[in-house]
Structure 1
Amino acid sequence: MEPNGQHSDIQIRNLRVLEALLFAAKEPLGADDLRPYLSENADLADLLDQLQQRYQHAGINLVQRGEKFAFRTAEDLSFLLRRDDVEQKPLSRAALETLSIIAYHQPVTRSEIEEVRGVATSKGTLDVLMEAGWVRMRGRRRTPGRPVTYGTTMGFLDHFGLEQITDLPGLGELKGAGLLSSNLPPDFSVPKPSDGDLTSDEDPLEPDDAGDDLLSDLDARNQPNET
């Protein structure tokens, strides 16, 4: 067993290494990203918990995004940095609706998105969301035609301050915010999204699936513009 002083030095070094890695990272980091830099048998969960507590009342906090971690400005101070934000073009109504459907119904195909919206969804709308880093192609549905399924990304969680996809507002919260009518059918419910691993009715994507998906969407470009 190591002397207490030596153990303390190793612990301090591990914490400093984690702190440095997370500060320098452009995106949230997971266990596989962090463990190689720590001492053997380091308790990563305990180290992350210590860092979270250390920065709990600081100007930045250690937050969890899915299974990954990142330093982010404390929520109560975020307004101070808004003037430095790069102004982004607002999403169109079609893009917002599509993003909401993907977030709550994932994994979901384009035809399923269109069924919920009631109008055609152009490839351009999905491209905008994927270029923003909020939507990704998950896999292929095990149905005729093997359509691509879509889901949200770690960037989506990070941008909207969600730890897990299940932290999306529920029915009561959406009603309270005035985003849903109070005259909904008694059996109406907000879907529970599935994110992460492929579901039993999805196959993994192949390397050329992005090109195949583009070809399969050519017909959609000749459809009327969506509203």
Structure 2
Amino acid sequence: MTLSDPHQLATVLEGLLLAAGKPMSLERLFELFEEHERPDSGVFREALGILARSCEGRAFELKEVASGYRLQVRERFAPWVGRLWEERPQRYSRALLETLALIAYRQPITRGEIEDVRGVAVNSNITKTLLEREWIRVVGYRDVPGRPAMFATTKGFLDHFNLKSLDELPPLAALRELEPEPQLALDDEAEVPEGLQARADLALQEEGEAAEPREETSFRSLLAELDTMELGLKTDFDDLPEPESEPEPEALEADEPEPRPAADD
């Protein structure tokens, strides 16, 4: 086999990517060839182009994601391919997805900043889940009292969502179209029962000028908030120092934050 021939090299790369079962970077593919047989980078890229074209009209495709190249089933075949597994795909809560969206579009961001936007406390299980799935990581600590951790997304996040870089994130306008218009639970003109209205009036009198409880930010409002932050998105955190160990609990007691509203379920 002549590996300097891009057509023959394409078949070798196809076998490697099928066997790997995960994205392979160009550098890693280089390492799989002995030095004396290794083609130059131009031949590699030409071979990858040939492999990609050979997948046209087939059920799988060559896709470049953040971690490298992989062969994967095309998305339109997911309804049938998904039946190979008895387990249903894991469903994530709205709170987790909103937290992930904030990290993706406003990284690096702290837990407190996420709570300020969403209007409710972030359940610790949410960040734990995202860290365990390796979708986010700690890239440093904000230089403010308490030194809160700053979160950013990972290559694993990009790989999972079929993205090569953060530049491929859908614009916020596209996400806003997915938010259904709010539906009124009651007819505005429906008559309120007299007894119920009386109790409501009495409750308002007793409350007086008491502050109203803070409501959770709607998804539409959250997207509007992100709109102002979309430009100038930081996508590379290699210039940040390595995260230091998390401060000792004793050091945080002096700057204990104000209690926040109840956490999401």
Match of 1:135 in 2: 136
Q: Identify the match of residue 22 of structure 1 among 4, 17, 21.
A: 17
Match of 1:66 in 2: 66
The secondary structure found in structure 2 opposite 1:69 is: strand
Q: Distance in 2 between matches of 1:194 and 1:22?
A: 31
Distance change (3 Å), C-alpha of 1:71 and 1:114: same
Partner amino acid, structure 1, of 2:53? Q
Moved more, 160-169 or 64-73: 160-169
Moved more, 116-125 or 97-106: 116-125
Match of 1:151 in 2: 152
Match of 2:162 in 1: 161
1:126 shift after superposition: 0.4
Q: Distance in 2 between matches of 1:87 and 1:213?
A: 40
Q: Distance in 2 between matches of 1:152 and 1:168?
A: 12
Distance change (3 Å), C-alpha of 1:140 and 1:53: farther
1:149 shift after superposition: 1.9
Match of 2:31 in 1: 36
TM alignment of 1:1-227, pairs within 5 A: 10-38=5-33, 39-43=38-42, 44-66=44-66, 68-85=68-85, 86-143=87-144, 145-178=146-179, 181=220, 188-189=227-228, 191-192=230-231, 193-198=233-238, 202-206=240-244, 209=245, 212=246, 225-227=262-264
Q: Distance in 2 between matches of 1:213 and 1:78?
A: 45
Aligned length in residues: 214
1:128 shift after superposition: 0.8
Q: Distance in 1 between matches of 2:84 and 2:134?
A: 21
Distance change (3 Å), C-alpha of 1:148 and 1:188: closer
In the alignment, is the contact (CA less than 8 A) between 1:123 and 1:217 conserved in 2?
no
Q: Distance in 1 between matches of 2:55 and 2:15?
A: 14
Distance change (3 Å), C-alpha of 1:171 and 1:96: closer
In the alignment, is the contact (CA less than 8 A) between 1:119 and 1:226 conserved in 2?
yes
The secondary structure found in structure 1 opposite 2:241 is: strand
Deviations 1:198-226 (A, max 9, x none): 35xx32225xx3xx279589979x97641
The secondary structure found in structure 2 opposite 1:151 is: strand
Partner amino acid, structure 2, of 1:151? A
Q: Distance in 1 between matches of 2:92 and 2:149?
A: 23
Moved more, 162-171 or 58-67: 162-171
What is the TM-score when the length of structure 2 is the normalising length?
0.66
The secondary structure found in structure 2 opposite 1:71 is: strand
Q: Distance in 1 between matches of 2:68 and 2:131?
A: 20
Q: Distance in 1 between matches of 2:80 and 2:227?
A: 40
Q: Distance in 2 between matches of 1:132 and 1:217?
A: 27
The secondary structure found in structure 1 opposite 2:40 is: coil
1:58 shift after superposition: 1.5
Q: Distance in 1 between matches of 2:29 and 2:248?
A: 36
Partner amino acid, structure 1, of 2:12? V
RMSD, aligned CA: 3.5
Q: Distance in 1 between matches of 2:248 and 2:71?
A: 36
Deviations 1:168-224 (A, max 9, x none): 221331233336659x97x9546254334335xx32225xx3xx279589979x976
Q: Distance in 1 between matches of 2:171 and 2:30?
A: 35
The secondary structure found in structure 2 opposite 1:203 is: coil
The percent of aligned pairs where both chains have the same amino acid is 30
In the alignment, is the contact (CA less than 8 A) between 1:136 and 1:151 conserved in 2?
yes
1:145 shift after superposition: 4.5
